[in-house]
């Protein structure tokens, strides 16, 4: 079976772009968000999706199944995939995940399968589930500056029609806490891994220095680093999951990414936490929280 590479990051960390880029390496199969590892059993995963108004199951998983098992991403094949999942709701999530990884390897000969489900980084038991079920998995930790992430979350939450105004406000009020929570979870988790089992990259560096960062990732995984392989990684638009999927399973990647999946490199102006703390939004944090955020940001290479 292909070996699992898990991307660890909070939502809104360029994760769709970065994971699709890495997944375009000729020896890697890049999945969209499968969401399987968030719960132990498949029926629990399905319940979690229903709560997110995804009534047929994880859209990314439905798309991957339609693509790899049923002959392509059509509405009919998505329904067949949904039926397949529905009929196996008592399966363990790990078995479903191994099944789809086997299909990816069979179809493409991939050495690695790359999965990213940003919600995993909110739930330490889910991280542990991954470690327990795939002891030889490798991890790529993708970071983004906390202020940039906060702004991106605010923009995203405001655009979501499924939340009431009250729910949106609660998320907006807590947007800044998402960053330290997920980063701390990931750092604590990575601390228990074997040396050499994970690598950390900054999303901003992928945008400004893509060729070097992608080469670093390929080298970390022990894969080809020739020009052809690295150039393939700079074309996320070639992924079968880089575009809007069929009705009922349209996404599985960030909606902004699928609307324009071509890689557009550039240097991002890095925000400053010190400046943020001087704004009205930043002033609400007490000294303990400010010091904690600053320390964690410094630890990840941000100021």
Smallest distance, Å, CB 53 to other proteins? Answer: 6
194 in contact with other proteins (CB under 8 A): no
Enumerate long-range contacts of 213-220, CB under 8 Å, 24 or more apart. Answer: 214/21, 214/22, 214/25, 217/22, 217/140, 218/25, 220/138, 220/140
Instruction: Please count the residues of this chain forming the interface with other proteins, following the rule CB under 8 A.
Output: 57
**Judged by CB under 8 A, which of 191, 194, 195, 228 binds other proteins?**
191
Residue numbers 1-20 binding other proteins by CB under 8 A: 14, 17
CA distance 125 to 128: 5
117 in contact with other proteins (CB under 8 A): no
User: In terms of CB distance, is 188 or 278 closer to other proteins?
Assistant: 188
User: In terms of CB distance, is 132 or 196 closer to other proteins?
Assistant: 132
Phi-psi region of 40 (alpha: psi -120 to 50; beta: other; left: phi over 0): alpha
Measured CA distances, 130 to 38, 76, 114, 136, 165 (Å): 9, 31, 13, 10, 35
What string of DSSP letters covers 87-118? TTTTSBHHHHHHHHHHHHHHHH--SEEEEE-G
72 in contact with other proteins (CB under 8 A): no
Give the residue from 36, 80, 33, 82 showing the smallest Cα distance to 57.
82
Neighbours of 24 (CB within 10 A): 25
Print the binding letters for residues 224-263 with other proteins: x by CB under 8 A, - otherwise.
--------------------------------xx--x--x
Print the binding letters for residues 141-180 with other proteins: x by CB under 8 A, - otherwise.
-----------x--------xx---xx--x---x--xx-x
Half-sphere exposure of 97 (CA within 13 A, CB side): 29
CA distance 85 to 80: 9
Give the residue from 37, 46, 2, 33 showing the smallest Cα distance to 138.
2
SS3 label, residue 8: strand
User: In terms of CB distance, is 181 or 300 closer to other proteins?
Assistant: 181
- Inter-residue contact 239 to 23 (CB < 8 Å): yes
The piece of 63-71, 102-110, 182-190, 275-283 that touches other proteins (CB under 8 A) is 182-190
User: In terms of CB distance, is 31 or 257 closer to other proteins?
Assistant: 257
The piece of 67-75, 94-102, 191-199, 213-221 that touches other proteins (CB under 8 A) is 191-199
Q: Enumerate residues 6+ apart whose C-beta is below 8 A from 235.
A: 24, 263
User: In terms of CB distance, is 140 or 175 closer to other proteins?
Assistant: 175
**Judged by CB under 8 A, which of 7, 8, 37, 46 binds other proteins?**
46
**Judged by CB under 8 A, which of 55, 109, 159, 212 binds other proteins?**
55
Binding site for other proteins (CB under 8 A): 14, 17, 40, 43, 46-48, 50-51, 53, 55-56, 79, 83, 89-90, 123-125, 127-128, 131-132, 152, 161-162, 166-167, 170, 174, 177-178, 180-181, 184-185, 188-193, 207, 256-257, 260, 263-268, 286, 288-289, 292-293
């Amino acid at each position: 079976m292909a070996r699992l590479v898990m991307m660890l990051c909070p939502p809104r960390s360029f994760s769709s772009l970065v994971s699709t880029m890495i997944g375009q390496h000729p020896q890697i199969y890049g999945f969209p968000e499968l969401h399987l590892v968030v719960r132990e059993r498949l029926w629990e995963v399905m319940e979690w999706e229903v709560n997110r108004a995804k009534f047929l199951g994880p859209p990314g998983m439905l798309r991957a199944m339609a693509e790899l098992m049923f002959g392509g991403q059509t509405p009919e094949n998505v329904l067949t995939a949904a039926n397949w999942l529905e009929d196996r709701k008592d399966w363990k999530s790990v078995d479903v995940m191994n099944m789809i990884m086997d299909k990816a390897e069979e179809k493409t000969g991939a050495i690695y399968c790359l999965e990213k489900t940003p919600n995993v980084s909110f739930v330490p038991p889910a991280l542990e589930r991954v470690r327990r079920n795939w002891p030889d998995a490798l991890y790529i930790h993708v970071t983004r500056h906390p202020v940039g992430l906060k702004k991106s979350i605010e923009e995203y939450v405001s655009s979501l029609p499924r939340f009431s105004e009250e729910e949106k406000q609660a998320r907006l009020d807590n947007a800044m806490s998402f960053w330290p929570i997920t980063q701390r979870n990931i750092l604590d988790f990575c601390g228990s891994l074997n040396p050499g089992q994970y690598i950390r990259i900054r999303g901003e560096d992928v945008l400004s220095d893509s060729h070097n960062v992608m080469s670093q990732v390929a080298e970390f995984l022990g894969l080809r680093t020739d020009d052809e392989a690295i150039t393939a990684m700079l074309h996320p638009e070639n992924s079968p999951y880089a575009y809007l999927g069929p009705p009922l399973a349209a996404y599985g990647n960030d909606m902004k990414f699928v609307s324009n999946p071509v890689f557009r490199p550039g240097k991002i102006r890095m925000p400053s936490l010190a400046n943020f703390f001087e704004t009205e939004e930043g002033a609400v944090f007490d000294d303990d929280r400010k010091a904690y955020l600053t320390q964690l940001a410094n630890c990840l290479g941000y100021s």
